[in-house]
Amino acid sequence: MNLSGPVLVSIFTYLLMLLAYRYHRKRWFHIPVMSAIVVYDLCMPFYLYATRDWYRRLIEQEEIFSMMIWTHIMLLITLYVLYALQIIAGRQLLKGDNESREDHVAQGKGILIVRALVIISAMMLVEPERQVEAVALLIGD
């Protein structure tokens, strides 16, 4: 597994998410931290699209057929759906509807599990730096 900059930031935000989950009663901390992490997770695909050569990797190297890529994408979709449900339940809680508390707690646990899996699958998909070509030139291959 390779740890790139975005993966390290994601791990840091996951630890921050665990902290905000632990201190859920401190709304002044919990709501802004969780909201910022949701925004971060929503913006990450745009950042990666802008900074990576996806055509080469997915089409030329035919990784589009990789089960790991599709697993990662499905985990991301699951995470985004859980985020939407979590936001709906959280807004109901803020309005005073305590019946949505169970949903909010269950979705929060699901988010922690799925987000950990998203980060792990991303770590498996990180393409190592292209130092192999430089080594091949040195040895004469």
Cα–Cα distance between 138 and 132 in angstroms, integer?
10
| CA distances (Å), origin 125, targets 26, 53, 63, 94 | 36, 14, 10, 38
pLDDT digits (tens, 9 = 90+) for 102-140: 999 999 999 999 999 999 999 988 876 654 454 555 555
Cα–Cα distance between 22 and 88 in angstroms, integer?
20
Contacts of 29 (CB under 8 A, 6+ apart): 20, 23
* Contact (CB, 8 A) for 84 and 107: no
pTM of the model: 0.83
Give the pLDDT confidence score for residue 141 in this predicted structure.
Answer: 52
Q: What angle do CA 117, 15, 32 make, to 5 degrees?
A: 105
Give the pLDDT confidence score for residue 71 in this predicted structure.
Answer: 94
- Give the mean pLDDT of the chain: 87
- Token representation of residue 34: 């969780």
